[in-house]
Chains A and B, each alone.
Chain A
């Protein structure tokens, strides 16, 4: 690692090249997003969010705005589940829907925290790759909460 850094220095490559190599390395290791500091931060914050409707509302509003603006391609078939997570959080803080386990809710809030964080493992401003790590975290959270999300969507079509 240190050797790589000094090498960069002696050849005086621009900083950008080094950071784009870092991003390339991260993309080739998709699970890295789940071991990142940003993920740990998102998880830790989720615990304080879960029982606070006001914070959930703020999170929902920020994530909904962001979801309307980001590219959908990296998320592929996760996209409707990402949107379902958003609607579930909204229904939860509004008190309309509470039929979700604390654990499920925690994973969903964690994924949303990570999604709204612009300085996560691969910063969101990096073109094309900035949301690859977000998509990994999303797919992981969906894997953990698929049943809860499916139940929620079934509720949505039957209850209103």
Chain B
């Protein structure tokens, strides 16, 4: 059972929990209030998520959070809906403790979250890099 889940954790496209997160993300993308609530939930949880499993992707995860904040505040809108949904989906997944491998399982609990985050970063890297460049130029 556990081995099967670990194998699934390596394949984002077959991860049912991520498909659910993406479905929810589509509704969030149109609703600034929902995005604000998601951001605030992330803010509360961000210190309790271990950084180690995410390695260098932690920087991208933080960029995703700042991006959705700038988005719901209307400061930054230069992003496609596809990329926005992927980013929101990844954040929902990382924050959800009851995903493929529940987050409270020691050492393995965030393995699936790291895989999903890596997948989302790979898909949206350019949009995230554009956003961080905007942050240093525009403010």
Interface residues of A (CB under 8 A from B): 64, 67-68, 72, 77-81, 83-84, 86-87, 90, 149-150, 153-154, 156-158, 160
Q: How far is the CB of B122 from chain A (nearest CB, A)?
A: 11
Contact B132 A150 (CB under 8 A): no
Total contacting residues, chain B, CB less than 8 A: 24
Closest chain B residue, CB of each to CB of A83:
B132
Contact B46 A154 (CB under 8 A): yes
Chain B residues whose CB sits within 8 angstroms of the CB of A80 once the complex forms: 59-60, 62-63, 128-129, 132
- Interface class of chain A by DSSP: helix
Residue B43 at the chain A interface, CB threshold 8 Å: yes
Closest chain B residue, CB of each to CB of A78:
B56
A-B pairs with beta carbons under 8 Å apart, 26 shown: A77-B60, A78-B56, A80-B60, A80-B62, A80-B129, A81-B59, A83-B63, A83-B132, A86-B136, A87-B135, A87-B136, A90-B139, A149-B59, A150-B58, A150-B59, A150-B62, A153-B62, A154-B46, A156-B62, A156-B66, A157-B39, A157-B43, A157-B46, A157-B66, A158-B43, A160-B69
Contact A153 B59 (CB under 8 A): yes
Contact B137 A64 (CB under 8 A): yes
Closest chain A residue, CB of each to CB of B65:
A157
Contact A67 B136 (CB under 8 A): yes
Partner of A83, one of B42, B47, B58, B136: B136
Chain A residues whose CB sits within 8 angstroms of the CB of B63 once the complex forms: 80, 83
Closest chain A residue, CB of each to CB of B133:
A68
Residue B51 at the chain A interface, CB threshold 8 Å: yes
Q: How far is the CA of A157 from the CA of B42 in the complex (A)?
A: 9
Residue B127 at the chain A interface, CB threshold 8 Å: no
Q: How far is the CA of A81 from the CA of B59 in the complex (A)?
A: 6
Q: How far is the CA of A158 from the CA of B69 in the complex (A)?
A: 11
